[in-house]
Amino acid sequence: PHMMSAGGQIVVTSSTVATTCRESQSAYVASKAALTGLVRAAALDYVKHGIRVNALLPGTTDTELVRGVAGMMAAPDAVWQIGGAQWAKDNIPTMGRMATAREMAAVALDLAAATHPYLTGASIVVDGAMTLRA
């Protein structure tokens, strides 16, 4: 109710898999695609109240989640740095590295700032051009 009278910004975190597909991830891909649909619909529903709704679609980001998926939670940091760096070189040839959580946070904060009053209903892909490769 506060936002309905005061306006504001909502940033939803989805994933690049909302626009691409990966084998054996049907439920995950569907859930992320649903979030982008929710963002578009909510943007239409709340634009007249001065509420902007946008989605951040991060690519692979060096977080504990990624480390866990890689099966390297128990590995020493030095081993993870080497393994994660090699994985990134093989899978993100455009930039050759994973994003940092700080880089994703900067984009989220920018989307939440009042500096983009005309931006709503958008899904912003931040993946180092990973999804652009053939």
DSSP string, 27-85: HHHHHHHHHHHHHHHHHHHHGGGTEEEEEEEE--EESHHHHHHTT-TTS-HHHHHHHHH
In this structure, what DSSP letter does residue 7 have?
-
For 70, 72, 87, 114, the CA distances from 108, given in Å and listed in that order, are 25, 27, 25, 12
Is 46 one of the catalytic residues? no
Residue the block writes with tokens 């590995």 = 75
The residue annotated as part of the active site, out of 6, 25, 26, 28, is 28
Round to whole Å and give the CA distance between 14 and 35: 6
Give the residue numbers annotated as catalytic, written as ranges.
Answer: 28
